[in-house]
Amino acid sequence: MQKNVLILGASGGIGSAISKGLADDGYSLLLHYNRNKEAMKQLVTEIDEERILQIVQADLTMSSSVHKLCDEIVFPVDAIIYVSGMAHFGLFHDTSEDEMDAMLHLHVKAPWLVTKYFLPEMIRKQTGKIIFITSIWGHVGASNEVVYSSVKGAQNSFIKALAKEVGPSGISVNAVSPGFIDTKMNEHIEKESIISQIPLHRAGLTSEVAHTVSFLMDKKANYIQGEIINISGGWSP
């Protein structure tokens, strides 16, 4: 049976890798992006066009845009992958309220709203997959990334709580928590310093995150529930 997967944040480095991996696995995709239209155009050329059901644009920092996205989805949604995110680097006391609001909405409220919208149908069908891409900072916290660490910690708590609530309805809720992955979002970081602390002595690959998502999507992973799987190369900052 065909499974339709909504991927929020499909145009980013990790989102693109996940999209291509799930297309190769035979899933049909509903792809979301916000500003990176060119990256989305490129992604579409790298995926079998028969695997793409719909492409939607939405700014997930605004409730009105989130509601519009949900209303625009015209296909059943069997799984949701939350990849959308942006880092915020700087001292906490320099963070503006507008920046706080944007981070909270993108990482916490938007996933709440999207999940709330599609969850009743998953419960009716007694099946579904919900997967978040969180961050190692949601578990251990990071200096100069206090707001980002906070919202990723909130995602971790949401995953664990929702997994308990919807598990009896046959819906799995899990997360992949990357450490240092070689993406655009990490370009501001001094790579050599971090890599020297990683036991595998290298940054992670977006494909390695995508492989873990593919594993969680497989029915062989159905007994995994409420887990946050670290992809960190053994890094424990």
HSE-CB for 13 with a 13 A CA cutoff = 15
What does the DSSP 8-state code read for residue 181? B
**Cβ neighbours for 136, distance < 8 A, ≥ 6 positions apart:** 177, 178, 179, 180, 230, 232, 235, 237
**14 domain-assigned:** yes
pLDDT score for 144: 85
- Residue 193: the pLDDT is 81
pLDDT tier for residue 149 given thresholds of 50, 70 and 90: very high
How many structural domains are present in the chain? Answer: 1
pLDDT digits (tens, 9 = 90+) for 35-71: 999 999 999 999 999 999 999 999 999 999 999 999 9
**In the predicted structure, residue 160 carries a pLDDT above the cut 80:** yes
Where residue 141 falls among pLDDT bands split at 50, 70, 90?
confident
pLDDT for the residue numbered 228: 97
Q: How confident is the model at residue 140 (pLDDT cuts 50, 70, 90)?
A: confident
pLDDT at 187: 61
Assess if residue 185 is contained within a domain: yes
Over residues 117-127, mean pLDDT: 98
Which H or E element spans position 30?
A: strand 28-33
Give the position of tokens 């978040």. 132
What's the predicted TM-score (pTM) here? 0.94
CATH code, domain carrying 123? 3.40.50.720
How far apart, in whole angstroms, are the C-alpha atoms of residue 27 and residue 199? 34
SS3 call for 172: strand
Instruction: Give me the phi and psi of 205, to 5 degrees please.
Output: -105, 150
d(CA 70, CA 72): 5
Average pLDDT over residues 110-139: 96
Is residue 216 in a domain? yes
Catalytic residues: 148
Q: Where are the alpha helices (DSSP H) in 105-228?
A: 110-125, 137-140, 146-166, 191-195, 206-217
The answer to the question of residue 236 being in a domain is no
Q: Are 61 and 86 in contact (CB under 8 A)?
A: no
Domain-embedded: residue 63: yes
Q: Please write down the HEC assignment for all residues of 43-63.
A: HHHCCCHHHEEEEEECCCCCH
Q: What is the largest CA-CA distance in the chain?
A: 51
Q: What are the tens digits of pLDDT across the range 85-115?
A: 888 889 999 999 999 999 999 999 999 999 9
pLDDT, tens digit, 9 for 90 and up, residues 165-216: 999 999 999 999 999 998 766 565 667 888 989 999 899 999 999 999 999 9
Contact yes or no for 90/45 (Cβ under 8 A) = no
Return the pLDDT at 63: 97
Q: How many CA atoms lie within 13 Å of 28's alpha carbon, on the beta-carbon side? A: 11
Query: What's the average model confidence in pLDDT over 117-145?
Result: 94
Q: Name the percent of the chain lying above pLDDT 70.
A: 96
Domain around 35: 4-231
User: Does residue 237 belong to any structural domain of this protein?
Assistant: no
Please report which helix (H) or strand (E) contains residue 20, including its range.
Answer: helix 13-24
